Chains A and B, each alone.
Chain A
Amino acid sequence: MNFMSVGFQTLFYKETLRFWKVATQTVAAPIVTTMLYLLIFGHVLEGRVEVYPGVSYTGFLIPGLVMMSVLQNAFANSSSSLIQSKITGNLVFILVPPLSHWEIIAAYVLASMVRGLVVGCGVFLITAWFADLSFVAPLWILAFALLGAAILGTMGVIAGIWAEKFDQLAAFQNFLIMPATFLSGVFYSIHSLPPVWQTVSHFNPFFYMIDGFRHGFFGVSDIAPWTSLAIVSLFFVLLAAIAVNLLARGYKLRH
């Protein structure tokens, strides 16, 4: 893979420009939606729930919401771009030039990371006013944000390649990504769950992404951050291998 190749740079630029041209829909809208989560859940649960000692519920919620925005928007970027190009037929403009599958994946995933991180930063900048946040370990914040965005960008590539219509992509998003995100501890600590659901949560990779990300803010988490990092990294490698394999074989793209 050549990150300096003009082909890769152009595809990355195109994928970034694509979402930026419709930033109201791709950046502003998710920030507003996340703000609503904060206002509603924060208002209802503030003062009733204390997840970590000394941390308000709103303070606990903000990192979770930021990470949820990063993940959902990273997925949305690559998956929607690919399915739109497949359905309208303009994917041919990318399949005919001399771009390798590595360059194609890298460009789509990196552009997805940019969107996820832009939305995440936007959510953070607005929500940070609602609680006193600490930044105990900023490197953990950065590491989990980057890895989480990369994972969901890669999942978006896989879903975009697999889906043949918007309906299938919506199923992927609504029956897999949304439940996995909501049940990952964005709104609660898994220690507040019954033991059986605690066990189930440990099989959800999204849980480790959000738990590790939150550790960077408070220095406390349900799982040790190094463990989370190892699991999340492994998950990324697995997904990247699947995505590379699908593209290299031309699965559903080159018949």
Chain B
Amino acid sequence: MTAIQITNVEKNYKSLKALDGVSLSIEEGEFFGLLGPNGAGKTTLISIIAGLIRPDAGRVTIHGHDVITDFREARKKLGVVPQELVFDPFFTVRETLRLQSGYFGLKNNDKWIDEVMDNLDLSDKADVNMRALSGGMKRRVLVAQALVHKPPVIVLDEPTAGVDVELRQTLWKFISRLNRAGHTVVLTTHYLEEAQAMCQRVAMLKAGRVVALDTMAALIRRIAGSQLVLRLASGSLPPELRALVLHDEQQEGNTYNLRVTDYAEVEKILARLREAGAVIDEMQLQQADLEDIFLQIMGDKTP
């Protein structure tokens, strides 16, 4: 079943096209990453999913429920952790979570509230006023608020921005457990290694358009490939191999980074080097990572 269906969504702010015909389908139980530089449209898209922003065109459904025409059912299925560190200074942590449960129509939700607080190491802060919490603790409460109604779809907008390692680990442990239990998770993050470690599939947004959408493994294979790092003891790189050189500006002396897609290609490169009389001093095969893909796609001039 499709957890989130985004169809041709457009959003304009005066002359700025924040989203330009975005279509995505996120399946139930997926751990999905939404990546892109600042201003790419990630938060706008998440706000449209959450009903905070209305699209100029297109449609979004959550578990089949339209976020505008059937907003009650759609919102019941969704938990959103906003990017901004917002809180209500009038209430304690427990009061905040009880109120949030109530807004979702849940009374007597203390058992689950206690479990969520326990999993996010918030139990000893339950009766502390929100104002007195550190930034990291406030972030945990935001996550807890998004989970009080056990939503099948959880959207986290930069949940680990500016938080310490301990919270990141606590958060990912809990979110992974929820994902294993069947919850769909959509994540935006600036930490690419985090997306690589957690997400099964990613979409990359650039200037309001989806410029890449695939599983992590396929993206790495298809777009970035691997890198063959060579240091030559003598001779130079034959001209026909220069087309494979990556990060031109980073080449030092006789060291070259070549893009390769499979092992057979490595064999061909080595054969060509032998023919040209070059002697290899050192050789290393490096697997590309999400950062390479990200830089490659975002570096592309065409949006």
Contacts and interface: CB of A to CB of B under 8 A. Distances in A.
A49 B106 CA distance: 58
Q: 4 closest A-B pairs (Cβ-Cβ)?
A: A10-B102, A97-B103, A89-B86, A98-B72
Contact of A98 (B104, B107, B145): B104
A202 interface: no
The B interface is mostly helix, strand or loop, or mixed, namely: loop
A88 interface: yes
Given A6-B107, A88-B86, A89-B86, A96 B75 contact: yes
Interface in A2-19: 5-7, 9-11, 13-14, 17-18
Interface of A: 5-7, 9-11, 13-14, 17-18, 21-22, 85, 88-90, 92-100, 250, 254-255
A133 to B, nearest CB: 36
A118 to B, nearest CB: 17
Query: Counting chain B CB atoms within 10 Å of each CB, which of A11, A21, A97, A250 scores highest?
Result: A97
Given A21-B90, A90-B86, A96 B102 contact: no
B283 interface: no
A96 B80 contact: yes
A255 B53 contact: yes
Contacts of B51: 95-96, 254
A11 B100 CA distance: 9
A254 B102 contact: no
Contacts of B75: 96-98
Nearest to B72: A98
A7 B53 contact: no
B90 A92 contact: no
Contacts of B90: 17-18, 21-22
Contact of A7 (B73, B89, B95, B104): B104
Contacts of A10: 99, 101-103
Contacts, number: 77
Given A89-B86, A92-B82, A7 B54 contact: no
25 contacts: A6-B102, A6-B106, A7-B102, A7-B103, A9-B102, A10-B103, A11-B103, A17-B90, A17-B95, A18-B90, A22-B90, A88-B88, A93-B86, A93-B88, A93-B99, A95-B52, A96-B51, A96-B75, A98-B105, A99-B103, A100-B72, A250-B54, A254-B51, A254-B54, A255-B54
A22 B102 CA distance: 22
Contacts of A18: 90
Interface in B78-111: 78, 80, 82, 84, 86-91, 95, 99-107
Given A90-B87, A93-B100, A98-B75, A7 B105 contact: yes
The A interface is mostly helix, strand or loop, or mixed, namely: helix
A252 to B, nearest CB: 12
A244 B95 CA distance: 28
A93 B53 contact: no
Contacts of A93: 86, 88, 99-100, 103, 145
Contact of B52 (A22, A88, A100, A254): A254
Contacts of B80: 96
A93 B81 CA distance: 10
Contact of B84 (A13, A89, A97): A89
Nearest to B129: A21
Contacts of B102: 6-7, 9-11, 13-14
Given A98-B72, A100-B72, A254-B53, A92 B103 contact: no
Interface in B104-123: 104-107
A6 B72 CA distance: 13
Nearest to A92: B82
A56 B260 CA distance: 98
A92 B99 contact: no
Contacts of B91: 17
Nearest to A253: B52
Contacts of B72: 98, 100
Contacts of A94: 103
A129 to B, nearest CB: 34
Contacts of B73: 98
Contacts of B76: 98
Nearest to B99: A14
Given A21-B90, A255-B52, 4 more contacts: A5-B105, A88-B87, A93-B88, A97-B103
Contacts of A7: 102-105
Nearest to A81: B90
A6 to B, nearest CB: 5
Query: Counting chain A CB atoms within 10 Å of each CB, which of B80, B87, B99 scores highest?
Result: B99
A151 B78 CA distance: 35
Nearest to A10: B102
